[in-house]
Amino acid sequence: MTQNSEIAIVGMGPTGVTLANLLANRGLSVAIFEKQSKPYALPRAVHFDGEVMRIFQSIGLGSEMSDTSRVNIGMLFKDLDSNILIDWSRSQTIGPMGWYESYRFHQPDLETVLQNGLYRFSNVKTFYNSAVRKISDDGENVTIELESGERHTSQFLIGCDGAQSNVREFLNEELVDLGFMQKWLVIDLILKNDRPDLGNHTVQICDPNSPMTYVRGTGKRRRWEMRLTDETVSKISVEDVWNKLVKWISPDDAEIERSAIYTFKSSLVKKWSRGNVFLAGDAAHLMPPFMGQGMCAGIRDVANLAWKLAAVINGADKAILNTYESERSPNVREFIDLTVRLGQIINQTSKSQKETTKMESILPSLGPGLGLRDNIEGHLAPQFLSIESDKADDLNPNGFYPLSNQKNGMKLKGVEPWLNENNITSALVRPDGYILETVSKNKMQNNINYRFDSKNNDLIKAVPSRKFIG
C-alpha cells in the first residue's frame, strides 16, 4: 500500500500543529486534518510555562511566541476579605528552562505563529474541512477515510482532536473520570478603558458559594471564570453576564468578546495508543484550568512522542513507542491531581488564615519508560547557556547532547555546579529536554562523552543497551 505521508495528525489545535512542526523539523512527511474550515478565532487557553516555551524554541518559534505573549507574574488565592491564602508568584527572571517561568497569551495569536511555522516546510500538507469518518490499521499502515470519501494512508496516526475525539472512539477508549466535574461560566472581555486596579496577578477567590477566577490576559484582554451552582443551565444571557460582573466591571469599561459555559473535568485514558494510532492532548486527558496546564500537557505529550516516532521511522526499535504512555501518563496525572486539589481549595475555603502559604511550581518526572530511574534521570534538565550565550538545546537541535565538564564537551556556563549538586559527572539530555541517563561520581563507568558523540542524534547509538519499559 502506498503511503501518502509518514505521519498523519487529526486535529489542528495547538497540540496538533506543534506536533506537525516537531515532525516536519525532523524531516518527516506530515499530513494534518481538521474538521473545521478555519482556525478558531476566539480565546480559549491563556497560559503556558517555561517548559512549553522551550518546546516552541525547539521548533524555531521561541522568539515569535515571546513577541505575542506576556510574562505572567503569578496567581493569588484570596478569601472573601481579600486575605491572601496562597501566594503562587512566578519569578520575573529567566529560569532553568532558559525562559521565564510563566506566560499569558491569546490563543488565536499562538495558533497563528504555529500555523505560519508550517509554511517553512514543504513536507507538511494541511487539510481543513476534513472530518474523519473511519480509521483502519493493518499493522503496517493506518488509513483514514474522510467524510468526503477521500482516503489517506500513513505509517502512524496521532489523534489531537480534543475532548470529543473521533480517534479515541476508534481506539474504543473512554476518558476515565478522576473525580472532578463542575460547570463554570468563562467570560472574556476587551477593555475600553484602562483598569490598573484589577491588577496583573491571576486571582482565585476562594468561596464555597461562589468561587471565581480573574485572569489578566495580553493587551486589553481580561477573563473572569465563575462556578455555576445550577448544573442544568446551558445558556446565559448578556444581561446575566454583566450582572455577574457588576462587582468588578461594567459595559462602560469593556466589551464581551466571548462568554461560554464549560464543564471542568478531570479525566485520563487508560490506554494512550493501539497499534500505530496514538492519542495526545485533550483526546488523552482533561484537567480543570486552575493551574493553566491543560494545553501545556498536550504540548508535552507531542514533544515526548515526536522524537520517538522520528527515531522509529529512521530505524530504531519500535518498542520505544510503548514508552510514550508509560512516561507521559504519570506526569500528566501529577498535574491533574494538584489541579483538582487547588480546585477543592477554591470551592471550599472562605475563612482567613494567619499566614500566607507560598506555593512553588511543580516539575514532575516522567514515568519509567526508557529505563529505571537513578538519581535525576527522567527529570527535566536545565537549559544552560554557552560561553557565547547560545541556548544549549540549539547547539544540537533535535538530537541528544551531553552535559559534562570534559574538555571535549560543549562549553556551557553553570554545568559544573549543577553536576556537583547532583553528584554526577555527566548527563545525557534527550531531544525533549529530559535526562536520559547520568553517570554517578560513585560508579566506575566510562563517561557519557566517551561513548556518545554529541553530534549524533541516533537513538540506536545513544542507548544501545537500553531496556524499554512500556
pLDDT mean across residues, the chain: 90
**Predicted pLDDT of residue 455:** 39
Residue 465 has pLDDT above 70, yes or no: no
Provide, rounded to the nearest whole percent, the portion of the chain with pLDDT above 90: 78
pLDDT digits (tens, 9 = 90+) for 202-248: 999 999 888 999 999 999 999 999 999 887 788 899 999 999 999 99
Between 36 and 349, residue with greater pLDDT: 36
Residue 444 has pLDDT above 60, yes or no: no
- Among candidate residues 255, 256, 299, 393, the one with its CA nearest the CA of residue 47: 299
- Among candidate residues 155, 133, 153, the one with its CA nearest the CA of residue 275: 155
* Interatomic CA distance for residues 202 and 194, integer angstroms: 17
Q: Which residues of 382-391 are buried (b: 16+ CB within 10 A; e: fewer)?
A: bbbeeeeeeb
**Lowest mean pLDDT segment, chosen from 320-329, 434-443, 446-455:** 446-455
**Mean pLDDT throughout 326-355?**
89
Q: Which residues of 112-127 are buried (b: 16+ CB within 10 A; e: fewer)?
A: ebbeebbeebebbbbb
Of all helices (H) and strands (E), which one includes residue 264? strand 254-269
267 in Cβ contact with 178 (< 8 Å): yes
Encode 356-409 in three state secondary structure: CEECCCCCCCCCCCCCCCCCCCCCECCCCEECCCCEHHHHCCCCCEEEECCCCC
**Predicted pLDDT of residue 233:** 82
**Mean pLDDT throughout 33-43?**
92
**Predicted pLDDT of residue 460:** 47
Residue 448 has pLDDT above 50, yes or no: no
Give me the count of residues in the chain.
470
What are the residue boundaries of the structural domains of the chain, listed by start?
5-72+99-176+266-341, 385-462
Between 123 and 399, residue with greater pLDDT: 123
- Among candidate residues 20, 6, 14, 10, the one with its CA nearest the CA of residue 306: 20
Q: Report residue 199's pLDDT band, with 50, 70 and 90 as the boundaries.
A: very high
Task: State how beta strands 202-205 and 74-78 pair.
Answer: parallel
Residue 189 has pLDDT above 70, yes or no: yes
**Predicted pLDDT of residue 232:** 77
**Phi, psi of 296, rounded to the nearest 5 degrees:** -55, -45
Q: For residue 186, list its beta bridge partners.
A: 225, 260
Provide, rounded to the nearest whole percent, the portion of the chain with pLDDT above 70: 91
376 in Cβ contact with 435 (< 8 Å): yes
**Predicted pLDDT of residue 408:** 62
**Predicted pLDDT of residue 420:** 93
75 in Cβ contact with 82 (< 8 Å): no
Scan for cell 505563529, then name that residue: 113
**Predicted pLDDT of residue 441:** 78
**Predicted pLDDT of residue 454:** 38
**Predicted pLDDT of residue 470:** 54
pLDDT digits (tens, 9 = 90+) for 56-88: 999 999 999 999 999 999 999 999 888 999 999
Residue 443 has pLDDT above 90, yes or no: no
**Mean pLDDT throughout 146-153?**
95
In three-state secondary structure terms, 196 is helix
| Model confidence, pTM | 0.94
CA 113 to each of CA 21, 120, 298, 396: distance values in angstroms, whole numbers, following the listed order? 11, 12, 17, 23
* Interatomic CA distance for residues 455 and 170, integer angstroms: 40
Of all helices (H) and strands (E), which one includes residue 66? helix 62-68
Which CATH entry fits the domain spanning 5-72+99-176+266-341: 3.20.20.80, 3.50.50.60, 1.20.1600.10, 3.40.50.300?
Answer: 3.50.50.60
The x, y and z cell numbers of residue 318, run together, are 519500535
Q: For residue 224, list its beta bridge partners.
A: 187, 214
The Cβ of residue 278 has, within 10 Å, a number of other Cβ atoms equal to 27
- From the number of C-beta atoms within 10 Å of its C-beta (0-12, 13-18, 19+), residue 364 rates as middle
* Interatomic CA distance for residues 37 and 334, integer angstroms: 35
60 in Cβ contact with 114 (< 8 Å): no
- Among candidate residues 240, 243, 208, 203, the one with its CA nearest the CA of residue 222: 203
Residue 47 has pLDDT above 70, yes or no: yes
Task: State how beta strands 401-404 and 132-137 pair.
Answer: unpaired
The x, y and z cell numbers of residue 135, run together, are 480509521
- Among candidate residues 423, 382, 420, the one with its CA nearest the CA of residue 401: 382
